[in-house]
Amino acid sequence: MLIGALPLLGRLTLYLLAGVAAGIANGVAGGGTFITFPTLLSQGIVALQANISTTVGVVPSYLGSIRVFRHQIAPHRRLIKTLAPSCVLGAVLGCALLLNGSASTFRTVVPWLIGVGTVLFALSPLITRALTNVEHTHPARRGALYVGIFAVSVYGGYFGAGMGILLLAVMGLALPLEMHALQGLRNALSMIINVCAAIVFIIHGHLALQAVSMLLIGTLIGGWLGALVIMRLSPTLVRVLVIAIGAATTIKLALG
């Protein structure tokens, strides 16, 4: 049911609050799209326009998070640079699939992608222990990292909801890093993917400008708040939160 009877000020306030909530979600583990996307739909914005407007609007959510995690990100700048081409190419391909292809087939597999990613992330400590004899510099592991990041970037350019869960799953299996370092890398790579997709969508046009302007402000505030929350929680609790968000995202997509 539409909430389209809201006056202009009410709509702008709704978009702003949705942006703050989405920013907090992205700062914790991702999934902010599940707040902003239905909010835009509730105001009568068509699905494709709501999707691309959300992608542009959530970009600032990663700025505050990156600042909070800057000390965890700093030692891994070289790794980010080597993964950046996979992020850029994957995001552009995902945008092309969205703008030029049929959504039905891809949307069918999205719940499976998030579900498998969540399971892999939950099991990553066990899998990591089982692979202790395989060096993290082994070509197979490094190759899996690049292929996995590229695949997640394609998904991010196409829809992106739950992208953070998938990034954490891939990196948790391929990299010997603690949780806060993984969270920092997740925010940095998410920023690259979202910025690339946003550029494509801005060039394409047809954005819901009122919504985008409020989301830009709200997600900037929320991303900073969400990252502050994560930094104050234990790695075990963060892992539980990520798994819970991933499971909820999977169920929502499967039912939706």
Look up the domain containing 150 and give its range.
Answer: 8-255
Greatest Cα-to-Cα distance within the chain, rounded to the nearest angstrom: 62
Confidence band for 74, pLDDT divided at 50, 70 and 90: very high
Q: What pLDDT is attached to residue 75?
A: 93
Q: Please check the confidence at residue 19 and state whether its pLDDT lies above 60.
A: yes
- The domain total for the chain is 1
Asked if 246 and 29 touch (Cβ cutoff 8 Å), the reply is yes
Domain assignment of residue 60, yes or no: yes
Q: Would you say 46 and 103 are in contact if contact means Cβ atoms under 8 Å apart?
A: no
| Other Cβ atoms closer than 10 A to 204 | 12
Q: Is residue 72 part of a domain?
A: yes
Residue 3 within any structural domain of the chain: no
- Residue 151 inside a domain? The answer is yes
Helix, strand, coil % in the chain, rounded to nearest 5: 80, 0, 20
Query: Is 178 inside a domain boundary?
Result: yes
**Stretch among 178-187, 202-211, 214-223 having the lowest mean pLDDT:** 178-187
Say yes or no to pLDDT of 157 above 90.
Answer: yes
- Predicted pLDDT of residue 1: 42
What digits encode the pLDDT tens for the residues 230-254? Answer: 777 777 777 787 788 778 877 877 8
Give residue-wise pLDDT tens across range 189-207.
999 999 999 999 999 988 9
Residue at 1 is within a domain:
no
2 inside domain: no
With vertex at residue 218, the alpha carbon angle to CA 202 and CA 69, rounded to the nearest 5 degrees, is 95
| Residue 139 in domain | yes
